[in-house]
Amino acid sequence: MHEIASVPVKITEIRDETPTIKTFEFDGCFSSKAGQFCMVWIPGVDEVPMGFSSPSSITVQKVGEATEALFSLNVGDTIGIKGPLGNGYTPEGRVLVIAGGVGAAPLRPLALEGLADTFILGARTADEIVYKDELGSLTDLRISTDDGSYGHHGFVTDLLAGAGRGGSGVDPEDYDTICVCGPEIMMKNVLRILNEKDLSDRAQFSLVRYMKCGVGICGSCCLDDAGLRVCRDGPVFSGTDLLKSFEFGNYSRDATGRRVSGGGH
């Protein structure tokens, strides 16, 4: 297997997307497809997986030690990027995109490339909506918030079920490809709705799991009972593949391999 080396890049711009999410632009440009990820080395701290939000950026939510260290960096500081890794989305025909929170990051390239016909974006509250103006100018954007502070009051799954303020719901049968990323429990519920409509074969889901190597060697990101490696066989999987995994949406694993209830991050 060809080993991909980490490439040092300088941070050229830092944008506050929300109070907890930042985009880091860097001076390297990587030939990544929407959905592919990289291993990001934060000097002296750790190397962690993150999705590309463009060929020269990552969009990150502060959730732990590594991301907190990343948030402390400034323009001109250096990080390491190993990638692109894994596979990406393969959109065809009319494309529906469904994102929850920072899960919009690996889906953003689809909008930038003009491939997203409709983009459903969910957030906890209005303050946590990412890329709102940008996505609104590039695609047919539908927004839901858990607290009702913007758009539909509820979840992205409501919009798939035909609900939504002002007719914001969509019919997934109108789309040839459905690309999804977000909290795993959200994706599980999206897959359930699509499967009930016999549309699981049109859906592609990007998973976020704990990874050590990022290249399929250590097995830390394998899914029961399908045995799929998120880093090597994914991170994008078809809905039909995920229906074979009991682990998806039910539990994830920590750094020791121990099961953690809830499924994903």
Would you say 38 is a known binding-site residue? no
The pair of structure tokens assigned to 91 is 């959109």
Strand partners for 187:
none
The answer to whether 64 touches 147, Cβ cutoff 8 Å, is no
The answer to whether 95 touches 117, Cβ cutoff 8 Å, is yes
DSSP code of residue 185: H
Would you say 29 is a known binding-site residue? no
Would you say 231 is a known binding-site residue? yes
Q: Determine phi and psi for 145, rounding to 5 degrees.
A: -130, 145
Would you say 213 is a known binding-site residue? yes
Q: How far apart are CA 65 and CA 54, in angstroms?
A: 24
- Extended beta strands in the chain, E state: 7-18, 21-26, 37-42, 46-54, 57-61, 78-85, 95-100, 118-123, 140-145, 152-153, 177-181, 203-206, 222-223, 228-229, 236-238, 251-253, 259-261
Strand partners for 57:
25, 54
Annotated binding site: 213, 218, 221, 231
Annotated binding site for [2Fe-2S] cluster: 213, 218, 221, 231
